[in-house]
Structure 1
Amino acid sequence: MEKAFSIPRTRFVVGVALAVGLFLWSADGAQFDFLKLGEGAVNMGEFVGRMFPPDFSKIDTILLLLLETLQMAIVGTVLGAGLAIIIAFGAATNIAPTWLYYLCRWTMNTIRALPDLVIALMFVSAVGLGPFAGILAMTIGSIGSIGKVFAEAMEAVDRGPIVAMESVGASKRQIVQYAILPQALPLLTSYTLLLFEGNVRGATILGLVGAGGIGLELTTAINRYDYGHLLAMVLCIIVLVTIIDQASAIIRKKIT
C-alpha cells in the first residue's frame, strides 16, 4: 500500500520543486524585486494622493466617451464571437478534418501572438483614428482569444448523442446542429459574455493609440497632470464594469 502511494507522492514533490524552481528562475530573469516595490510605495502613495478629490466637472464628456466605449465593445463582441464560432467549427477535432483543424488552430495562435495594441495600430493606419479602428481590432482579437475556447467547448460535449446520430446515418451538419451545438450552447453563451466584459475593459486601452473610446482621454489627462479628471474617469469605468459584471453573472446563472 505504501509503495502504491509513494509514486504519486514523489511525482507531486518533484512537480512542486520544478514549479518553484521555474518561478524563481522567472522572477530572477524578470528582475522581480519586493524591496524595490517597497521603496516605490511612497511614490505610489503620492501619485494616488494627487488624484483626490475626483473632478466630475467634465462628466458629460466622460459619459459620452464611456457610451462610445460600450458601443465599441458591443459591436466588436458580436462580430468577433460570430467569426470565432465559425473558425471554432474548423478548430474542433470532433468536427473538422485534420488539415482544417491545424489551419484554424495556427490562425488563432497567430492572432493571439499579436498584442491588441499592435492590431489596433494596424487598423488605425488603415482606416484612421476613431472607434471604427478599435472595433476592427477587437473583432480580430476576439477571434484569437475566444475561438480556441469555443472549439474546446465543442470538443468537450458528451459523445453519446453524436454516436447515436452517426449510427442512424446522420450527416455531419445534422450532428453539429442537433448533437454538438445544443450541448455546447450554454458554455458558448457564457464565454461570449466573458468576452464582452473583457472587450469593455480592452476598449479603454485601445483608445491609447487613437482607436476610439475613453482611453485617449485617459492619456490626455495623465499628460496634462489632470489627476482629478483622471480619477473621475477611473471611477466611472469601475462603475460600468461592475454593472456589466453583475448583469453577466445573472445571465450566466440562468443559462447554466
Structure 2
Amino acid sequence: MTTTAPKPPRASTAPTLTTAERDRLERAFSIPRARFMLGIPVAVIVLLWSFAGAEFNFAKLGDGAINMGEFLSRLFPPDFSKFGTIFSLLIETLQMAIVGTVLGAVLSLFMAFAASSNIAPKWMYYPARWVMNIIRSVPDLVFALMFVSAVGLGPFAGILAMTLGSIGSIGKVYAEAMESVDRGPMSAMQAVGASRRQLIQYGVLPQAAPLLVSYTLLLFEGNVRGATILGLVGAGGIGLELTTAMKMYDYGHLSAIIICIIVLVTLIDQGSALIRKRLT
C-alpha cells in the first residue's frame, strides 16, 4: 500500500504594480469622488437659485390651501347628464391620439435614422439633430394654432400638431435607442460587406425594437393627454368642452369630464403596461 505525501500549497503570487500604475488606479477612484463632492454644493446652489427665481414658496401654498379646498369642493357632485357628449368627444380624442401616434412614430423613425450617429453620415446627422431641436423648442399649442389657421377648427389640426411635435421628442428618443445598440453585430456585418440598409434592417432594428415599441406606447399615452390640451385652442378633442365648462363655471360638468379623462388615461396606461410586460 503506497501513500502519497500531500502536496505543499502553492504560494499565491500577488501581481506587483509599479508606482505609476498604482498612482493611476488611485486617481481613477479619487477623481470621481472629488468631482462628486465638488458637485454637491454646486447643485445645492443652483437649486436654491432656481427656487428663488421661480418664487417657490411653501408658505404661500399653505395660505392658499383654503381656496384650493373650496375649488375642489365645487367639483362635487359630478354632473353626468351630458355623458353622451363627453363620451363622443373622448372617442374623438382617442382617435386623434391613435392617428397622431401612428403618423408621428413613422415620421420619427425616419428622422431617427438620419439622427443616429452609428447609421447616418455626418452631413445628415447634424441637420437632423438641429431640426429636432427646433421642433422640440416650439410648444405644441403653437403648432396647433398654426394648423388651426391653415385647416380650420377641428381634430385634423390637432392631429397635425401632435404629429409634428412627436418628431422632435420621440424622434430624439428613437435615435438614442438606435445609438445604444451593440455594435458587435454591425461590425461583423460591415466586415462581410453589408449595405447600410442591411445594417439597419438586421443589425439595428432587431436590437432596438423593444425600446422603440415601449417609446411608441409612451408617445400614445402622451398624445391622449396632449389631445385634451390641444382642444383648448379649438384643435378638436374634449379640451374645448373642458374649457367651455370652466368658462361657464359649470363645475359639475367639469368634474364629470375630468373623471372620464382619468378613466380613459388609466385604461390606456394599464393596457400599455401589459404590452410592455409581454415584450420584456
- One fold, TM greater than 0.5? yes
Deviation, structure 1 residue 65: 0.4
Rg larger in 1 or in 2?
A: 2
1:16 matched to 2:40:
yes
In structure 2, the partner of 1:206 is: 230
In structure 2, the partner of 1:239 is: 263
Deviation, structure 1 residue 5: 5.1
Deviation, structure 1 residue 255: 1.2
Q: Give the Cα separation in 1 of the matches to 2:31 and 2:139.
A: 42
Q: Give the Cα separation in 1 of the matches to 2:27 and 2:170.
A: 44
Q: Give the Cα separation in 2 of the matches to 1:167 and 1:2.
A: 39
More displaced stretch, 4-13 vs 131-140: 4-13
Deviation, structure 1 residue 9: 3.1
Q: What is the 5 A alignment of 1:61-72?
A: 61-72=85-96
Q: Give the Cα separation in 2 of the matches to 1:226 and 1:137.
A: 29
Q: Give the Cα separation in 2 of the matches to 1:3 and 1:90.
A: 39
Q: What is the 5 A alignment of 1:215-230?
A: 215-230=239-254
In structure 2, the partner of 1:35 is: 59
Deviation, structure 1 residue 3: 7.9
Q: How many residues align?
A: 256
CA RMSD of aligned residues (A): 1.3
In structure 1, the partner of 2:81 is: 57
* Structure 2, unaligned runs of 5 or more: 1-24
- Whichever residue aligns with residue 84 of structure 2, its letter is D
Normalising by structure 1, what TM-score?
0.97
Q: Secondary structure at the match of 1:32?
A: coil
More displaced stretch, 141-150 vs 9-18: 9-18
Q: Give the Cα separation in 2 of the matches to 1:233 and 1:16.
A: 45
Q: Give the Cα separation in 1 of the matches to 2:204 and 2:159.
A: 30
Q: What is the 5 A alignment of 1:11-160?
A: 11-160=35-184
- Whichever residue aligns with residue 16 of structure 1, its letter is I
Q: Check 1:63–1:28 CA distance in 2 against 1; reply closer, same or farther (3 A cut).
A: same
Deviation, structure 1 residue 30: 1.2
In structure 1, the partner of 2:220 is: 196
- Whichever residue aligns with residue 55 of structure 1, its letter is D
In structure 1, the partner of 2:208 is: 184
Q: Secondary structure at the match of 1:164?
A: helix
The CA deviation string for residues 4-26 of structure 1, in whole angstroms up to 9 with x for no partner, is: 75543332222111111111111
- Whichever residue aligns with residue 37 of structure 1, its letter is L
The CA deviation string for residues 34-86 of structure 1, in whole angstroms up to 9 with x for no partner, is: 11111111111000001100101100000000000000000000000000000
Deviation, structure 1 residue 99: 1.3
The CA deviation string for residues 133-192 of structure 1, in whole angstroms up to 9 with x for no partner, is: 000000000111100000010000011110110111111111111111111111101100
Deviation, structure 1 residue 207: 0.2
- Whichever residue aligns with residue 128 of structure 1, its letter is G
Q: Give the Cα separation in 2 of the matches to 1:194 and 1:212.
A: 21
Q: Secondary structure at the match of 1:89?
A: helix
Normalising by structure 2, what TM-score?
0.89
